[in-house]
Amino acid sequence: MDIYFFSIKKSKISHTFTHEKKTEDKPRQQRRLWRVTQSRTHSHRFTRERKKIMTFEEIEALARSYTPIAPLASLTEKKCHLCLQHLYYLFRTQAIDKETAAKEKRIIRQVFLSDADTDLRTLNIRKQLNQTLLLGQELTTKVLKAADRQEMLDLSLQCIAAMTNNKAFYLSALKQLQRIGEKCGYRKGEKI
């Protein structure tokens, strides 16, 4: 037996009631078990990282048939799906006419395309940043394992160039280092 308490602040009424748990009949338990196993077997499609952004037409087809969108869908895709689903509901219940629905659909499409473009640019920047960080981490471990000062300095310059994503930095810093070395009496190719 479970006891539930809740209160409504505006009317200052509080209620207490008891709730007896009912034993479920066999068919209902079997349906619930079927739903759980189905959700587990179909969820494998969504566990892997998605490769592409859904198109407006794909989202529209899902919304038209009241099919849920993938859990790994972006916020932009989910927002578009929800708006289209609500728009189709309003049209089917004749709360809005065809012209109004078409106008609203165009607005939803424009907002989706704008947001999807922003999402795509953000995704590309994140991928580039991740690649830069991975390269920087690899070079950092090589710097720590370097055998001598020259190799350590060379790898450090490569690491800075990789982390700043500035390919010209390495060559210009190497030339500057050689000039400084020549001023100090080192010849070209000689270890500092």
Q: Is the pLDDT of residue 34 over 60?
A: no
Give CA separation, 161 vs 71, 130, 172, 176, in Å.
38, 15, 10, 14
Band of the pLDDT at 10, cuts 50, 70, 90? Answer: very low
Q: Is the pLDDT of residue 183 over 70?
A: yes
pLDDT in tens, 93-131: 999 999 999 999 999 999 999 999 998 899 899 998 888
Give CA separation, 63 vs 38, 40, 56, 103, 117, in Å.
21, 23, 10, 17, 21
- Bigger pLDDT: 119 vs 19: 119
Tokens of 86: 């609500």
Instruction: Give the per-residue pLDDT at 180.
Output: 83
Which residues pair with residue 6 across a beta bridge? 15
Which of 28-37, 59-68, 158-167 is the least confident region?
Answer: 28-37
Once rounded to an integer, what is the mean pLDDT over residues 17-35? 49
What is the pTM for the complete model shown?
A: 0.52
